[in-house]
Structure 1
Amino acid sequence: MALRYGLAPNYLTDDPNDFMGVVTNNETVTVESIVEQMIGKGSTVTKAEALSVIEEFEYTVVEAVKNGNSVHTKLFKITPSVAGVFTDQSDGFDPSRHAIRLNLNAGSRLTKAISEIELRKVEISSPQPVLQQFVDLKNNVVNESFTPGQIASIRGSLLKFNSEDPKQGIFFIANDGTETRAENVVKNKPSELLFFVPESLTSGSFKIEVRVILHDSKKLRTGQFAYDLTSV
């Protein structure tokens, strides 16, 4: 298998002829499918045993992070950090102004795997929104977080949607699958959306999607931002 990618207009540079690579039509591998592959190779470990070990591993990693520790494995590195501006030496952590963030990076085995990925350039046959950049305009933070009730910007291509259609728009998706649509949109253009983040998104991390029905089409197209963003 190969990492399939196509080219889409890049609106983040000054050159109107620039394009950017967009990963497309690649499969998503779940824990279930990983375990199936493991036991399919003749492993003596049963599916239930493998899932149990993975659950214990994930639980222990979460506990380590909850205790404020960094976690380094050959697959990934997790390092906590504190974001926000402190007014002076005596200032303390204030959830309304500061946030705890988790910085995730590839470990040594994944870093090595990058050089072994086969690439295949393909034509993007089904146009869809491309989300290139998310900016929290209150804190001027890019691709990391958002502030509930404050204005934010998404830049990319094919972003314009029909705001009167509830199926279209900007959607924040929580880890439990709950979806919240941004209702107050200030700017609705193909290359940029300006909008107020819903005030109800007070905690957690979210996936960001833009859903549109393109001109001369009846099918709903979805573009998802590459990074999960945290509520500040």
Structure 2
Amino acid sequence: MALRYGLILNHLTDDPDDYMGLVTDNETITTEQIVERMIGKGSTVTKAEALSVIEEFNYAIVDAVANGNNVNTELFKVYPSLSGVFANEQDAFDKNRHSIRLNLNAGKRLSEAISNIELRKVEVITPQPVIQRFSDLKTKTINESFSPGQIASLKGVLLKFDEEDDKQGVFFIAVDGTETRVSNLVKNKPSELLFFVPESLTAGTFQIEVRSIFKNYKSMRVGRLLIDLTPVS
């Protein structure tokens, strides 16, 4: 198998003719499929045993992170950080103004795997919104945080949607799956959306989606920015 990618117009540069690569239509491998690969290579470990060990490994990682530790394995590195503004040196963490973020980076073995990835260029046939950048216009941060009640910007491709359709639009998706739709839109263009972030989003971690039904299509198209965003005061 190869990593499939296509090219789409790049609206983040000043050159109207350049393109950017978009990874597309690649299979997602689940834990069970990983285990099937393990035992398929002739391992003496049974599927039940492998799943049990993986569950214990996951539990140990979660427990270590919950205790405030950094985690460094051959596959990945996890470390916590804080977001939000502290008023002065005497200020302290306040969950209404600050958030804990988890940062995840590839470990040594995953980083080495990059050089072995084969690429296959394909045509991007199915149109969908592509979010390339989220900007908090108050704090000037990019792909990091947002200010509730303030204006934010999404830049990308095919972002425009029908404002009269409640099923379309910009949605903030919480970790538990709760969805909050943006109701106050300032600009609705294919390459950029400007909107006021809902004031209710004062705590938690969110990802952002754009949902749209394109002309001559019946089904909903969805584009998500796969970066965790946190609120700041």
TM-score w.r.t. length of structure 2: 0.90
The residue number in structure 2 matching 1:21 is: 21
Q: Map Cα deviations across residues 160-218 of structure 1 (whole Å, 9 max, x no partner).
A: 00011122111223333333322222211111111223344444333322111122322
Residue identity matched to 1:103 = N
In the aligned structure 1, how far is the partner of 2:6 from the partner of 2:226? 15
**For structure 1, which segment, 210-219 or 158-167, has the greater mean C-alpha deviation from structure 2 after superposition?**
210-219
> 1:3: Cα distance to partner?
0.7
Q: Map Cα deviations across residues 102-148 of structure 1 (whole Å, 9 max, x no partner).
A: 22111000110111111111110111111000112232221122333
TM-score w.r.t. length of structure 1: 0.91
Residue identity matched to 2:159 = L
Percentage identity across paired residues of the two chains = 69
Are residues 1:88 and 2:78 paired?
Answer: no
Cα–Cα, structure 1 residues 36 and 181, in superposed 2: closer, same or farther, change >3 Å?
farther
In the aligned structure 1, how far is the partner of 2:21 from the partner of 2:182? 27
The residue number in structure 1 matching 2:106 is: 106
In the aligned structure 2, how far is the partner of 1:179 from the partner of 1:46? 40
- Can you give the 5+ residue segments of structure 2 that lack an aligned partner in the other structure? none
In the aligned structure 2, how far is the partner of 1:59 from the partner of 1:138? 39
Cα–Cα, structure 1 residues 54 and 200, in superposed 2: closer, same or farther, change >3 Å?
farther
- Can you give the 5+ residue segments of structure 1 that lack an aligned partner in the other structure? none
> 1:55: Cα distance to partner?
1.8
- The answer as to whether partners of 2:95 and 2:203 remain within 8 angstroms in 1 is no
In the aligned structure 1, how far is the partner of 2:214 from the partner of 2:198? 25
In the aligned structure 2, how far is the partner of 1:176 from the partner of 1:86? 27
In the aligned structure 2, how far is the partner of 1:91 from the partner of 1:175? 27
Runs of 4+ in structure 1 over 6 Å off: none
Are residues 1:3 and 2:3 paired?
Answer: yes
- 1:44-83 equivalences in 2 (<5 Å): 44-83=44-83
In the aligned structure 2, how far is the partner of 1:32 from the partner of 1:230? 32
In the aligned structure 1, how far is the partner of 2:87 from the partner of 2:200? 27
The residue number in structure 2 matching 1:140 is: 140
Q: CA RMSD in A?
A: 1.9
